[in-house]
Chain A
């Protein structure tokens, strides 16, 4: 029964900023996941989620988002690099859940206007991922100079990213399957 369900790997678009180029990267990653057998995906745009600022954590939990996190086996988090770190609203949303993430895989996709492809935001994000109980893979996708990677309509201009995304997803799917088996069958302390 465990293997009847396809793996669920939603893509989280982690910025609400107008003109965000990360949206192209997120759509591209979702398209790459859709090509895979036995894996379902959905693009979750945090700008579409209710995000009260007068509370945090459980206090702002959105039932629909929490349900998606419950059923997820892995997350692809697409984050731009703003002043060397991640958008505060992305963390605000992620902090609204906890048990939903534990022992699930995560892969981070960094996006930057400059040449570094979000390497600094990814390094900055790792302690957060760990504290949420997610298990980060050791592959990233780095969209540096993002304005030259996608045109204004979101069309990919550099086909090398297809191979890079493929390797990233190979690792993420392996981790997602392994962790699902563990969550389902391996009891703590056994």
Chain B
């Protein structure tokens, strides 16, 4: 579960966190944030029920 709700940058509505994607990368910025037990970092995907916008962020 997301730590806090994301707010839609288009309509200001509360977004729904509906997916986590495991991302593998060799980039240093990504490697630094990786979840050791999974071997990559988790990118959260959020959807706005109001306007359909999509946002993502790296999970903490």
Instruction: Tell me the A residues contacting B by CB distance below 8 Å.
Output: 1-2, 5, 70-71, 98-100, 102-103, 133, 182-190
Contact = CB atoms under 8 A, between A and B. Distances in A.
Interface of B: 1-2, 16-21, 43, 45, 47, 49-56
B49 A185 contact: yes
Given A99-B56, A189-B1, A1 B19 contact: no
Chain A interface main SS type: loop
What 7 pairs across the A-B complex have the smallest Cβ distances? A184-B49, A183-B47, A99-B56, A189-B1, A102-B45, A102-B19, A183-B18
Contact of A188 (B17, B51, B54): B17
A102 B50 CA distance: 17
Contacts, number: 55
Nearest to A100: B54
Contact of B19 (A5, A71, A133, A185): A133
A41 to B, nearest CB: 16
Contact of B18 (A70, A98, A182): A182
Nearest to A1: B50
Given A187-B1, A188-B1, A103 B19 contact: yes
Contacts of A188: 1-2, 17-20
A95 B18 CA distance: 21
B47 A184 contact: yes
